[in-house]
Amino acid sequence: MKYKFCRKGIALYITLGLITIISMVIMRSFDLITAGFKHVENVEKINQTKIVVADTEKILAVLLSEIKNSDLLLAFIGAYPPVIDKDGRFLVALESKPFHTGININTIIEDKNESNNSDETPKIQVLKEKYDDLFVYIFNTYHIKDGELFLNILLDTLDTDYVERTMNSEIAIKDINFINGLIPNRKIFDRIVAEYQELSEDNEIQNVPWADFFIFTHINSETLIDCNFMTRNLAEAIKLEIEDIIDLNGDNLHQNNNGGKNKKSLKNLDNDDDINSNNFNNSDENDNSLAITCESIKDNKNNDIKNKFNIRAFENNQSQTYYLLGTVSYNANIIEESFNFIYDLKSKRIVDLELVQ
């Protein structure tokens, strides 16, 4: 059994630093906004958001450059108290969430190697072998009646052709607005689940906590899994050996690591759902989906599995692409706006953006 110190001091340092930087940069944003766009409300709304997005990028570039290890990152994740200017004219709130909590659903498929394939022959795409046992675990654990049908619908969505693996497995044939080749958000994945449920009459599919295992994003390249943010469900599914970790107060540290701070948005402080859109909210809000820590799977017996699935802790270095999810909500000139974003720590850029409706 291992013991670990809590990170309250680190969290306070990060929180104070963030509030200070936001205060300085956002107040500059408000001066630009009020000076430039008072005359046209629609133009003002667009330009306000553009300025706040640009300044959010600058804030994160400054602050995250100081986050050198996973302890500081863990302290940073969460929602921060809103910052308001002295006259109460401009108010802004920031929430950050982990991105690397599971397997990128877009990367589970690969071209099948066939020696007799010519350049003119369409390539057949199949499930990567390393994910076979994972889906077997999911189907057995949650009593899915026809796992093969579900996989066929899933893979027919991820491939780029319109050839059915089995009858009715190509949603795009029935829906001309449905696009193959990517599952960019949870909404599209839920459409796959609904399609399977209708064809199989298997209601058990709704009980699978998919976000315990996968992330849903526009990014279609391999992404790492951060062992400080992955769930116990995923760890058990891929057969990692987990050792419980107890802190000095005797508390189990296997808790949800999506941020320990109070998560309330500026847009609606009574409703957390308003800041969670389909593109950026990967959570199933399952209290039983406990997170593990890198410390709890550090046994050398786990090395092969961690290498196989690219499981590691955050390291602040230029060779590692690492993303964070975030939500910014602000109120200026009686206009309220919120936007979700994905921030790339390597390029120091916001690489995906979505306005919250």
Q: Are residues 182 and 127 in the same domain?
A: yes
Q: Are residues 96 and 178 in the same domain?
A: no
* Residues near 166 by beta carbon (within 8 Å), at least 6 away in sequence: 148, 149, 152
Backbone angles phi, psi at 203, to 5 degrees: -75, -15
Q: Are residues 94 and 11 in the same domain?
A: yes
Which of 35-49, 151-165, 240-254 has the lowest average pLDDT?
35-49
Q: Are residues 185 and 278 in the same domain?
A: no
Domain boundary among 212, 239, 269: 212
Q: Are residues 73 and 107 in the same domain?
A: no
Q: Are residues 107 and 199 in the same domain?
A: yes
Tokens of 116: 């007799």
pLDDT average, residue stretch 137-144? 98
User: What is the number of domains present in the chain?
Assistant: 2
Q: Which amino acid is at 161?
A: D
Q: Are residues 94 and 116 in the same domain?
A: no
Whether residue 242 is contained in a domain is answered as no
Q: Are residues 55 and 74 in the same domain?
A: yes
Domain boundary among 196, 212, 228: 212
Tell me the residue range of the domain where 346 lies: 2-101+259-283+314-355
Whether residue 290 is contained in a domain is answered as no
Whether residue 306 is contained in a domain is answered as no
Whether residue 236 is contained in a domain is answered as no
Whether residue 298 is contained in a domain is answered as no
Q: Are residues 273 and 340 in the same domain?
A: yes
Which of 27-36, 111-120, 281-290 has the lowest average pLDDT?
27-36
**Residue 191 and residue 197: Cα distance in Å, rounded?**
10
Whether residue 229 is contained in a domain is answered as no
Strand partners, 353: 341
Which of 43-47, 158-162, 206-210 has the lowest average pLDDT?
43-47
pLDDT average, residue stretch 95-105? 96
Of residues 301 and 61, more confidently modeled: 301
Domain boundary among 181, 212, 243: 212
Whether residue 147 is contained in a domain is answered as yes
Q: Which amino acid is at 272?
A: D
Whether residue 293 is contained in a domain is answered as no
Which of 32-41, 152-161, 347-356 has the lowest average pLDDT?
32-41
Q: Are residues 155 and 87 in the same domain?
A: no
Q: Are residues 71 and 40 in the same domain?
A: yes
Q: Which residue reads 């196989």 in tokens?
A: 308
Backbone angles phi, psi at 202, to 5 degrees: -110, 100
Strand partners, 126: 110
Query: Is the pTM for the entire model greater than 0.75?
Result: yes
Q: Are residues 97 and 107 in the same domain?
A: no
What tens digit of pLDDT does each residue of 293-313 get?
A: 999 999 999 999 999 999 999
Identify the burial level of 346 via C-beta atoms within 10 angstroms of its C-beta, where 0-12 means exposed, 13-18 middle and 19 or more buried: middle
